[in-house]
Amino acid sequence: MLRPLTNLSLALAVALGSACASKQPRPEPTTFFSTSITEDGGKFFVYRVELPEREERAGRGGTRQGGDRGRRGGPPGQQQGRDAVQRDDDALKQQVDRLIAENRFCRDGYFVLDQYSGAGGKSLRGECREGASPEDRIRFPNPV
């Protein structure tokens, strides 16, 4: 005969095991970095992160945020949504900064020309502050 504590331990182990088994690992995002150097020496790049489509949202439109309207006129989660977008934008810029520091494509920093965040991924397009050197043209040849 099992003791009550053993029954509880067994029930807890089964519950935890089934909860962990139902969660599939989230697929890793795919990143792309492409460079382009113009004839007059302008240096441009695009950094893109593509998020894999998750099963639960496959085949449906994007997710909708919000809920019942608050008493002050706006959706209750609106500021939180803006904060989340800002955090995503900041994280993307930090990823680009790290990559640029590693590959030295832009030695004197860069200007953000365009930035996008959506359900399928995010991207940042930028232009280096300095012009291309002969070494840059060798290290970062334009795609054919």
Whether 108 is in a domain gets the answer: yes
Nearest Cα to Cα of residue 44 among 116, 117, 107, 125: 125
Tens digits of residue pLDDT in 110-119: 999 999 988 8
140 near 35, Cβ under 8 Å? yes
Residue-level pLDDT at 143: 84
Answer whether residue 74 shows pLDDT above 60. Answer: no
**Domain total of the chain:** 1
**125 found inside a domain:** yes
Looking at the domain assignment, is residue 1 inside a domain? no
Within-domain flag for 103: yes
> What confidence tier does 124 reach under pLDDT thresholds 50, 70, 90?
very high
Domain with 92, as residue range(s), is: 27-52+76-144
Which of 9-18, 50-59, 98-107 is the least confident region? 9-18
Give domain status of residue 4, yes or no: no
Q: Which are the contacts of 93, defined by CB distance < 8 A and separation ≥ 6?
A: 112, 115, 124
Query: Would residue 98 count as lying in a domain?
Result: yes
Using a pLDDT cut of 90, give the percent of the chain over it. 48
Contact (CB, 8 A) for 116 and 96? no
The answer to whether position 59 is within a domain reads no
In a domain, 68, yes or no: no
CA-to-CA separations, 16 to 12, 19, 21, 52, 84, in angstroms, rounded? 6, 5, 9, 27, 31
Q: What is the mean pLDDT of the chain?
A: 78
